[in-house]
Structure 1
Amino acid sequence: MRAMIQKSFGGPEVLELVNSERPKPLAGEVLVKVRASAINPVDVAVRSGAFPLLGEPPFGVGWDISGVVEEVGPGAGFAVGDEVYGMPFFPRAATGYAEYVAAPSSQLARKPASLDHVHAAAVPLAALTAWQGLVGAADVKEGDRVLIQRAAGGVGHFAVQIAKARGAHVIAIASEARRDFVTGLGADEIIDYRTTDFTEAVKGVDVVLDSTAQGDLSLGVLRPGGVLITILEHGDEELAARVEAAGRRFAGILVEPDQRALEAIAELIDAGRIRPYVERTFPLEEVGKAHDLVGAGHVQGKIVLTV
């Protein structure tokens, strides 16, 4: 099979297309013929060495996949021909930029019936991050005021929709150029970060989803007892202590595979309450161009590789 690996840290040029042996599913695993694989900012950070999650190369990056079960190991939960999606093994390597991935069936779910593989691949890591923060950690409910940072991005555009699906009042931070997009996702208020200081414009919110490493700034807009969900500062013990000392709650999120959450997200997608947005697709061979685009930091929604 063809797969992208890297033998050193560096720019997109270190990603190398190789021929490798097709994996064999173990007990409880399935072999997925990958049709599409999405790119996330964490992929770029791992590739460059900025976030050495996988240790030293060689390894293959990429986690988000959507495809068709081609082979089933003993005791696995799917059948040959089932269409599945997920982000297996995170935070260990999954080598998702490949023609085949063997993964535990418990870390995958049936692909939303209303989506093609490209749009299904765009969902898992970003949507699970938003879900595990807003639903799992904060238990967002009807009437809550929720502030979403980077609302037009991968995690952000799912977070807006998940919060709205749970009845929240959503305040979205995004550029003016993204206003129509974010409003279309269901945001109730838009704050243009280029012209407005959100810490002055917003006070007393119940939940902040922070994907900008500005936890101390976000803390200032929370009501007493409110929840700060942080993605980039999930392991910051000093920030956690400051949040708790201020009478707020700290929730650091490092996403993990979650079949039940994927199933719940798929139900909302098929009900028309969540829709993934894919800005561009690239063939597997042009993964470097895709990484350049994601690394620039201004993607609306997601970038997806077709395999």
Structure 2
Amino acid sequence: MMSEEEDLSTILQIKESHDGDFTAPDGPSPCWLSVAFCLLLACSYVGSLYVWRSDLPRDHPTVIKRRFTSVLIVSGLSPLFVWAWRDVTAVRTNPSLLALMGIRLEGLIPAVVLPLLLTMVLFLGPLMQMVIDCPWSFTDGIRVAFDPCFWMLCLSDMRWLRNQVVAPLTEELVFRACMLPMLVPCAGPSTAIFTCPLFFGVAHFHHIIELLRFRQGTVSGILLSAVFQFSYTAVFGAYTAFIFIRTGHLMGPVLCHSFCNYMGFPAISTALEHPQRHTVLLSYLLGVLFFFIFLFPFTDPSYYGLPTPVCTLAPSPSSLCLS
């Protein structure tokens, strides 16, 4: 816990950083421009998935490979949106464009370890459920984890590559690393955390098209599923946006995204019917409790270089940027 003198010193440090690094635009307000650039970027990302004409479902390897090509191109060009936004709004900062997008070396190791560990704490219940139900011993699991053949099989599986590598990397790059630097100067860090996920959640509505196209359920069921997915992805997007702003790194959100894709939404109904449900449910409760206890300590900006680059874009010092 920081003393009052240290806390005051931190606030003054961030204020000096704002005074020296951030220049407010002299031209038009960046708010509507920020939203416009974010919408354009989101539409470009989702639109790239549909440039290929095909009657095959989204999980077909051919479709996945084609979409890899288009989303990787859009993601590779996404920094140009931030560069163009910065040029149009005349926002000037000392951190480089890559640093603002969370691509930097300072604090990289804690940025890789701590956010992922925090997310695993949140999933303590599902992880405990997996351990109990897993037929393998701990030794077997370690052996598989270090088996090159296992990883070769994973890398040859297009669905695994999409869910664990390409989707987490490209979505976090586009919807967090590129959008948050554009939103923070006008909305501030706190508001940006809850604004940015709206673009992310809406971007997932395109799944409705394929579900309806291949008649995978009733219309009401598909719409209900889409609303649930929007809610879930918006909450998750707010969490990874929080991590990005607090740590100033892209890798943390990417690894958390990949881990959550692997775990899926917690099967609470299964936990209620589990033979060892008391142990499993206790793990769920402890996971949520410890998650909120460790949320701010594990994302303390002092571990990652204070202030984080994206925090220097805030129009005024924010408590989220304080340790």
TM-score greater than 0.5 by the shorter chain: no
Which has the larger strand fraction? 1
Which has the larger helix fraction? 2
Give the structure-2-normalised TM-score: 0.24
Please identify the structure whose Cα radius of gyration is greater: 2
Q: Which has the higher contact order (CA 8 A, sep 6+)?
A: 2
Give the structure-1-normalised TM-score: 0.25
